[in-house]
Homo-oligomer: A and B are copies of this chain.
Amino acid sequence: MTYDMVERITRSFESQSMMKTLGATIHEVEKGKVTIEAPLLPSALQQQGYGHSGLTFSIGDSAAGYSALTLLPEDQEVMTAEIKINLLAPADGELLRAEGRVVKPGKRLVVVTSEIHAWKKGQTKLIAIMQGTMVPVPMNP
């Protein structure tokens, strides 16, 4: 991963106000793989006090999208065409970590997956898996 790729993804990430609202940060960037973390903020919970599925989805989707972006030319962005999430366990703990990966690169479609783990008192648990399709689009000038 060149410095430019990390910088490009960081810049895009920081321009997403939703990521700031959720307290999310980029943890790691590799070719075809991006990891995003978010704390379980008091402002992002569901009715039982666990992390909201919208939080899990948001960082899982972003990690998957940025993993696709690592494989695209510099003048392109990426949009989610569709994605599916299976929720396996409540988002319980202090931190969520989403790892997005490219399964199949392509010029028109990039197929991706994401795994989201919760960290609680030093222990980690798989809480969701995602499978979806990203679409490369020309970057806004």
Contacts and interface: CB of A to CB of B under 8 A. Distances in A.
Interface of A: 12-13, 15-18, 20-22, 42-48, 52-55, 57-58, 61-62, 77, 79-89, 103-104, 108-109, 111, 113, 126, 129, 131-133, 135, 140
B109 A52 contact: no
The 10 lowest CB-CB distance pairs between A and B, nearest first, are A54-B58, A18-B52, A84-B84, A82-B86, A88-B104, A15-B47, A131-B131, A21-B43, A17-B45, A57-B57
Nearest to A104: B88
A86 B111 contact: yes
A126 B109 contact: no
A76 to B, nearest CB: 13
Given A54-B54, A81-B87, 8 more contacts: A21-B21, A21-B43, A54-B57, A54-B61, A86-B131, A88-B103, A104-B126, A109-B135
30 contacts: A13-B47, A15-B47, A17-B42, A17-B43, A17-B44, A18-B43, A18-B52, A18-B54, A21-B44, A22-B54, A53-B58, A54-B55, A54-B57, A54-B58, A54-B61, A57-B57, A57-B58, A58-B58, A79-B87, A81-B109, A81-B133, A82-B82, A82-B85, A82-B86, A82-B87, A82-B111, A82-B133, A86-B132, A103-B129, A104-B126
